[in-house]
Chain A
Amino acid sequence: MSSASPINVIKASQPEVQVQTAPDVNFAYLDERTKRMIRRAILKAVAIPGYQVPFGSREMPLPYGWGTGGIQVTASVIGPEDKLKVIDQGSDDTVNAVNIRRFFQRTTGVQVTTLTREASIIQTRHRIPETPLQEGQMIVYQVPVPEPMQRLEPRETETRTLHALAEYGLMHVKLYEDIARCGHIATTYDYPVMVNGRYLMAPSPIPKFDNPKMHMSPALQIFGAGREKRIYAVPPFTSVESLGFDDHPFEVQKWNTVCALCGSASSFLDEIITDDQGSRMHVCSDSDFCQERQADQTSAGVKHDAL
């Protein structure tokens, strides 16, 4: 391929980080034609909010199930000026997040950050940051199963028809079953939503707590499933409504406590076992959000006792 590799235009914007890009690898790993193909898929996805667009998912240097879809989306849209944040279950520090971030550093040399408000692209596995997103930001979700009705109707020929004809009674059957069996809708993550009043969408395994954040978000939301080879999107300021019944409406999770570190009563809390005696504490799942709040409190001179 003779297309000019843009390696020579990468600025080392973080001088302390040694940017080692392999000489034979294109910017962001994928070749330009592949990026073009994926961008076309993304354009279609954005044009039809919630509709699953098939794309030619490539061999990536990590197996299926580790975010290949999200990585391909990010790789197709990232440019040298972007600032990238990668989180996994809200944390910047897990193995997954660290490795994906390093992958992009090596193949693009872009600036990386842990601060939600500074990132132009946020790639995430299974959470939406607590800090509200702004216009101009892009969030890329890693998706295992793009088809929301997969468990109910495994035949893709049939689900395609259901989407085409907007026949979504089946999804409500699932919710009905939950209520009949458990007294309430038992789905707590990957909770199905209706996008733009037309397409039923699987928002990826984010907790249902995060669903309201997708609604009318100023940011562009793109979803990539590498193994299933589908891309879908929610453009900015699009309605995203979680399904429910009139008498059993959608509800987010609630906790009886606040974050042990920053005192937040409005964020998604993880339960952490702290010792062998079974002591536990609840802390924010979004590490950046928690740290910022702690930093604010320290600078404001507020001490907070751990519960």
Chain B
Amino acid sequence: MTHFEASPLLCVQGLSKRYGSFTALHEAAFDLWPGEVMAVVGESGSGKTTLLNVIAARMQPDHGSVHYRMRDGALKDVHAMTQAEQRLLARTDWGFVHQHSAEGLRMDVSAGANVGERLMGLGHRNYGQLRATAQEWLQRVEIDPLRIDDTPRIFSGGMRQRLQIARNLVTSPRLIFMDEPTSGLDVSVQARLLDLLRQLTQELRLAMVIVTHDLAVARLLAHRMVVMQRGRIVEMGLTDQVLDDPQHSYTQLLVSSVLQP
């Protein structure tokens, strides 16, 4: 598989959403190509989480469309799909890593079952293979495979996030959505998680949309960056360009506000 894919993986056009008179999202548009990592940055209330949720079919937009290129090459309108199709997509070709890992894991079920669940849902019926696959993935996200039978309740925050990632990656998705994946984690734990993400996205050629308020996360992981303010995309470009040569006043404010240790 070469870089040079013929068509975008995700096409977002004119996406808007309002809650009464409040504009949560206004005319968001971009294309995402396979293997591209895009960060969506902005402060609280900027609409970045709304954007993520609408694109990931967790919310309906008021206007606009989200088209996704399926594995067979067909471009499909995500919001015109049936619920069954959306759920299947969410469990196979997509991943969603939640800010709070408890929302993305079954806390009272073993790590191995958490990782294997998607496969079991797809009809995998060999216990031995499921377990072996789970162990491989735990290793890949740097969780000791001996902990395969432990439940995430006794894992640390960083381990839970890594387990969430493993749970999502087991079906080889092509697009991952992440909502503030490092928030609440200690700095050293963050660094480890980010590095893992960086390696995995490269190895697996994952496309990602990462919502974050942390510009350092964007710098490290993302090829491209989108800056949002009050529901609107105010700037978009290569990550280093947006951070080093911010054009919009809000972007300049964000970049200059970051403390340098």
Contact = CB atoms under 8 A, between A and B. Distances in A.
A192 B125 CA distance: 15
Nearest 8 Cβ contacts at the A-B interface: A169-B121, A172-B120, A245-B127, A169-B120, A246-B126, A165-B84, A173-B113, A246-B125
Contacts of A103: none
A177 interface: yes
A173 B106 contact: yes
B192 interface: no
A170 B117 contact: yes
A245 B84 contact: no
Contact of B125 (A164, A181, A245): A245
Contacts of A165: 83-84, 87
A169 B117 contact: yes
Contacts of B198: none
Contacts of B261: none
Given A173-B109, A173-B113, A180-B131, 15 more contacts: A165-B84, A165-B87, A167-B121, A168-B121, A169-B117, A169-B121, A170-B117, A170-B121, A173-B116, A176-B112, A176-B113, A180-B110, A180-B149, A181-B149, A246-B127
Contacts of A177: 109-110, 113
Contacts of A172: 120-121, 125
A305 interface: no
B12 interface: no
A159 to B, nearest CB: 14
**Among A167, A172, A179, A244, which residue has the most Cβ atoms of chain B within 10 A?**
A172
A38 B127 CA distance: 41
Contacts of B87: 165, 167
A109 to B, nearest CB: 50
A247 interface: yes
Interface in B128-151: 128, 130-131, 148-149
A169 B122 contact: yes
Contacts of A247: 126-128
A187 to B, nearest CB: 15
Given A172-B120, A173-B120, A180 B113 contact: yes
A161 B117 CA distance: 17
B118 interface: yes
A248 interface: yes
Chain A CB within 10 Å — which of B118, B126, B130, B149 has the most?
B130
25 contacts: A165-B84, A167-B87, A169-B117, A169-B119, A169-B122, A170-B121, A172-B120, A172-B125, A173-B106, A173-B120, A176-B110, A176-B112, A176-B113, A176-B120, A176-B127, A179-B127, A180-B110, A180-B131, A245-B125, A245-B127, A245-B130, A246-B125, A246-B127, A247-B126, A248-B127
B259 to A, nearest CB: 43
Interface in B95-126: 106, 109-110, 112-113, 116-122, 125-126
Contacts of B117: 169-170, 173
Contacts of B130: 176, 245
A161 B128 CA distance: 29
Interface residues of A, number: 19
A172 B113 CA distance: 9
Of A169, A181, A248, most B-chain CB atoms within 10 Å: A169
A218 to B, nearest CB: 30
Nearest to B119: A169
Contacts of B116: 173, 176
A181 B122 CA distance: 23
Contacts of B120: 169, 172-173, 176
A169 B127 contact: no
Nearest to A244: B125
Nearest to A165: B84
Contact of B112 (A168, A169, A180): A180
A181 B84 CA distance: 32
A247 B126 CA distance: 6
Interface in A151-179: 161, 164-165, 167-170, 172-173, 176-177, 179
A180 B132 CA distance: 12
B174 to A, nearest CB: 20
A167 to B, nearest CB: 6
A242 to B, nearest CB: 13
A231 to B, nearest CB: 25
Contacts of A176: 110, 112-113, 116, 120, 127, 130
A81 to B, nearest CB: 46
A167 B148 CA distance: 24
A167 B106 CA distance: 16
Contacts of B122: 169
Interface in A136-161: 161
Interface in B73-105: 83-84, 87
Contacts of A170: 117, 121
A176 B113 CA distance: 7
Contacts of A161: 83
B105 to A, nearest CB: 12
A176 B122 CA distance: 15
A170 B106 CA distance: 10
